[in-house]
Structure 1
Amino acid sequence: MGDDDGIIARMFNTKALLGVVVGVGASKASSGGVALQPGSLLAKVSGLTLVQPSETQAANITSRDIVSASPESLEPHHIQMLLSLLEKNPNPSDRVQVLVTLGNAAAFSVNQDLIRELGGLHVIAGLLSDPLPEIRVQCLNALNNLSMNVRNQEQLKVYVPQVLELIEMSPVNSDLQLASLRLLTNLSVTNNHQHLMKSSITLFLSLLVVSNETLQTQVLKVLVNLSANPDMMEDIVQAQAPASLVLLFDSCTNTPVLLRLLTFVGNLQDLDALGPGRRGAAAQ
């Protein structure tokens, strides 16, 4: 009994030390040892002797126990293993947890560079077409954090058409629309990739009149960014806006929404009056 306690203590001490444990589901095997998923992070670093699980046991050993205690302290091999699991593990709940972990890690600039260098941007973005909405949402959330890095934006720009399609095809006010617009907000902060969104300006304007205040705010952040670019002026003013858009210019409209709407219109007026030398206010 003492040996078993020692093994289990070592296992959980290792989990606490690493902060992230992927693909681990510990259970006692019939021989009294501890069954671990071969190739898991814990199996590689704990020094425990692996007990190969039977097919029945293997079905119960998943990555449900992912822990993300200190995402800022992840090392390259931890990130690499998370990306590998994302590619090879078809279990939806495991993928969601790995995406959450990678998204949390991507809040730190050092990990933004590391994930790019390990080819992780395309691995994560590959799940934009996953059939499960929850996976697509967490994928977008991770990409949103990763897009706060200018070098990452250069790779992520190729996914703008796919993200725009998600906005168009998803239910109004859904988490998918909101997460997609958040990503586009980051990608439209500079002028570099705004031209990729010009064909969707009518879509953005239409969303303003059918969405809730949260989504309206996010749509307007994108529109304010676009309207601050003189090169986008013609595309914006020629876009087909719904007639009911004027109803938003009302004191009953939510104040943050109204302020951004006025900023958007103000940018257009400034650029029209003063010419291409003037850049309007960006979204806040």
Structure 2
Amino acid sequence: MGDVTPRFGNMKALLGLVAGAGASYGIYKLISFKRNKKNATGENLGVKGSQQSEVKIQPGSLLARVSGLDVICPRPADTASGDIIHQSPDNLEPQHLKMLLSCLQTSNNPSDRCRILLTLGNSAAFTVNQNLIREFEGIHIIAGFLSDPAPEVRVQTLNALNNLCMNIQNQEQIKVYVPQVLELIEMSPVNSDLQLGALRLLTNLSVTDKHQHLLKESVTLLLSLLVVSNEALQVQTLKVLVNLSSNPDMMDDIVQAQGLSKHRAA
């Protein structure tokens, strides 16, 4: 009960700051205007890539069983002696995860990459798989697709990292990608799935105060999103800000960011 009162007070203070967040609008729009052109180019590349022909596989493959989508994942000839066992996400064998990560690295089709990432994300809902993916260097492999030309691949990458982020040990590796995740928020169209996926990841990463300092420079951006975004994005943004406001050391950064925004707007 003793923890509830200070958190409620922090929430009230945060909501008071949100009321004046309109001053951040011009800053955010300026960032978006300059960078959306660059993002649009990346999206065009993704659309072009997704138009490539896809190879269909028989129903019931590992990826189709886990993700619910039919996908193709070429396998080396030397694995022909053993087919992939059909498993549910909570019962995948280590070799299955290794194969998925290998397929992800070698796939040239954005649609296939999306489905593999979806499968890995589903499997990462379970602690045993979270640990295995980390041990197989899978976090860095997956995070490498944060810069994929196809926006739908970047969305699935964020979703997979979001599930992996539920593991404290995994957070130590994921935290290094925070600047890249924040850049995705800045560069992506407002109210896009990319922004929502990035905010969900930041929400999980900021639940404890261990990594909250990584978001100090992003408070102005978060306040701006409350002005220009839709309800779904506003709710997710508030979750991040509430996490930050629970840390007394972060409240000063929130206040200063708000004051700086008003000064620049004037």
- Secondary structure at 1:148's aligned position in 2? coil
Q: Aligned in 2, Cα 1:239/1:70: closer, same or farther, shift over 3 Å?
A: same
2:170 is equivalent to residue 133 of structure 1: no
Deviation at 1:71, TM superposition (A): 1.0
Paired residue for 1:197?
A: 215
CA contact (8 A) 1:141 1:179 kept: yes
Q: What is the correspondence of 1:1-16 to structure 2 with a 5 Å cutoff?
A: 15=61
1:155 corresponds to which of 173, 176, 185: 173
Paired residue for 1:278?
A: none
Paired residue for 1:223?
A: 241
2:180 is equivalent to residue 143 of structure 1: no
Q: What is the correspondence of 1:6-85 to structure 2 with a 5 Å cutoff?
A: 15=61, 19=65, 23=72, 37-39=74-76, 43-46=80-83, 70-85=88-103
CA distance in 2, matches of 1:233, 1:197: 12
Q: Per-residue CA shift, 1:37-78, capped at 9, x if unaligned?
A: 55279834149xxxxxxxxxxxxxxxxxxx986111111000
State the AA in 2 paired with 1:45. Answer: G
Deviation at 1:112, TM superposition (A): 0.5
2:184 is equivalent to residue 166 of structure 1: yes
Paired residue for 1:54?
A: none
RMSD: 2.7
Higher relative contact order (CA 8 A, sep 6+): 2
CA distance in 2, matches of 1:12, 1:97: 15
What is the aligned residue count? 201
Per residue, is there more helix in 1 or in 2? 2
CA distance in 1, matches of 2:92, 2:106: 20
Q: Per-residue CA shift, 1:147-167, capped at 9, x if unaligned?
A: 000000000000000000100
Q: Per-residue CA shift, 1:246-271, capped at 9, x if unaligned?
A: xxxxxxxxxxxxxxxxxxxxxxxxxx
Structure 1 length-normalised TM: 0.65
CA distance in 2, matches of 1:116, 1:188: 20
Q: Aligned in 2, Cα 1:15/1:98: closer, same or farther, shift over 3 Å?
A: closer
CA distance in 2, matches of 1:230, 1:152: 25
2:194 corresponds to which of 176, 179, 184: 176
**Structure ID, larger Rg:** 1
CA distance in 1, matches of 2:235, 2:98: 36
Deviation at 1:23, TM superposition (A): 3.6
Give the percent of matched residue pairs that are identical in Structure 1 and Structure 2. 66
Q: Aligned in 2, Cα 1:224/1:46: closer, same or farther, shift over 3 Å?
A: closer
2:203 corresponds to which of 166, 185, 189: 185
Paired residue for 1:104?
A: 122
State the AA in 2 paired with 1:201. Answer: V
Task: Spell out structure 1 runs of 4+ moving beyond 4 A.
Answer: 11-16, 18-22
Paired residue for 1:270?
A: none
Q: Aligned in 2, Cα 1:152/1:40: closer, same or farther, shift over 3 Å?
A: farther
Structure 2 length-normalised TM: 0.69
CA distance in 2, matches of 1:92, 1:162: 20
Q: Aligned in 2, Cα 1:129/1:210: closer, same or farther, shift over 3 Å?
A: same
- Secondary structure at 1:209's aligned position in 2? helix
Deviation at 1:13, TM superposition (A): 10
CA contact (8 A) 1:41 1:81 kept: no
Q: Aligned in 2, Cα 1:80/1:233: closer, same or farther, shift over 3 Å?
A: same
Unaligned segments of structure 2, at least 5 residues: 1-56
Unaligned segments of structure 1, at least 5 residues: 1-10, 25-36, 48-66, 244-284
Q: Per-residue CA shift, 1:228-282, capped at 9, x if unaligned?
A: 0011121111013667xxxxxxxxxxxxxxxxxxxxxxxxxxxxxxxxxxxxxxx
